[in-house]
Structure 1
Amino acid sequence: MDSLPLDISHPAVQDYLSLVRLQVLTPLSLLINIATLVVCSVIVKPSAGSIIKSHPTSISPSPSLISAYVVAICLGQIGYCTLLVVARKPETKHTQTTIVKGVGLSLVFANWLMALWAVCWVLEFFLLSTILLGLLVLCLLYSNIALLTYHPPTSSRPLDTALIHAPLRFFLILPLSLLFPYSLFITLGLYYSPSNPEDYGRFAWPGFGVTCGANLIGLFVIMMRRDIVWAVAATWICVSIWTARPKPAPVYITVILFTVLHPLALIGTLLYRRLTKREGRIALPTDEEHDTGAPNGHGPREIDAEALWGSG
């Protein structure tokens, strides 16, 4: 027992142990996250949705649409966990590297932070919930940057794109674009009493700044990367904001505008890429056109000097 049959310091062994660790911790963290969200949304009173209704701001979302968004996040992570199970096969070596080096424990920490945030949210510890959401954004931002930098999505590996890149990016956009600024608004007192709905216009310009800034960032990403996931997520969040009425005019007009702009930007950039690819293709000449001896008039021919210059 003095020496193990395996060299633990070998990089391949380290990667394998990291993969096994992720195969255990990631599904466990997801289950804890789902259980906590269900308890805080259904069983506990006041629920997470009730807190949103009792603290309306200029960017308050529709609780039902946000719940559906969270369900989509969980479904994406279930697909990711399924990919984790089959990632031991030799033919999935690149997938193993993407999971271990690109995602790592970031998603595990993100699930724990999301679960802790839900508890703090229903307990109305808004300062702590804002801090947790900030950490959640940093954690997911790190993993997404690592994925895009060192393991970018490619068309040759569609499963990696659908089950690794897409769920991580979809998860990031919710706290980045909505949950963190919304919790920050409540922490700073930028909300009005639901018993005074006529005050909905208060703090309209901070809401305008947040929605406009977040959506401009999203629009830039969509146009530069032709990002379908970001387009869907950003449009979803915009719809969740303008469906929760009333809203001050600057915020309402902004989210309506970007609800239209995000899909248009995606479609426009996809069409532009397709057209530029088509125009960039150069039609190569056929072999017959290169055959200078062909009797079709394209090759060199004998010139009659007398006919050209006239006879003497």
Structure 2
Amino acid sequence: MLDENVTLGCPIQLAHVLARQVAEEDFSGITRLAESYGVPPPFLSWNVDPRSADLRVERNFWEITQGFAQPDGSVRRDLLTMDRYGSMNEWLMLLDKNDGTPGYRYSQFGPAVETWCVPATSAEQNTCDFDGFLGIFLTATYEAIAMRNAPLLSIHQSFEQAFVSKNRRIIIPLVDRQGENDGFIALNTPTNLLQPGLEVLPVPVLVVDGDMTVCFANKEARKSLDGGRYGPWDRSLFQYAGIDLTIESSPEEILISGVPHASTCRHLAHHRIGTFKATVTAARHFEHVFYIIMLTRD
């Protein structure tokens, strides 16, 4: 049982206590902390094997990072070459340890992570800067990874983003030439409740908000419309896919009526104009309603 005085009065001390527990595969303290703040407990696992992950970006991240590994499996920070990650840098974070200061400092924060994964975060911010549960949780998990010197899979509830259900992080510790912890590299990708069903569909499907901003694209849409990249998702429908589509009804109106809207829309790609048949439905994700746009060749 956690000391109540530590829980209420000393978040840094609490983070240290939780870090030791997490390093020993005891996640009960993190669970109780989440419950005390009224948020869903995160999922943590030291059994990280992204080679079997559903997201290709996770497999690629793991393979590239392991390419920098030493014979003992450790990843030296001074040998890390961020250019090797290409467009994946949009979803990557680098963290530095703070000598003599609690927490860990973000030295790189991918723009897609900043847009979708966490509230108002940027490079130079410290994990201790987050209020409430998130600051304690982040500081404790990174400290636990440094203690154990092993990768960690962390999945926690998103607190601010409308279309993001959970933030999924694969965190790999980095070491210096002496083998001591020298920060972390982490892949942070958002997941949502609609994603699993949309991913398996053999046609392009886009999730778009009422302002016509793309919030998610399934695998087929990413491949055929955006070169296979996973985000970022802050572009308009035309910017993302070259689709010129006007929808007269709001997502809420389509959801209430239950009647799909069908139309033919123009598609601009490589200075050529083609057409798609667009079938527009709507779906609720928590308190927000989104367009679901399915595209088939005209």
Alignment TM-score, normalising by the size of structure 1 = 0.28
Structure number with higher strand proportion: 2
- Between structure 1 and structure 2, the one with the greater Rg is 1
Q: Which has the higher helix share?
A: 1
> What is the TM-score when the length of structure 2 is the normalising length?
0.28
Task: Report which structure shows greater RCO (CA 8 Å, sep ≥6).
Answer: 1
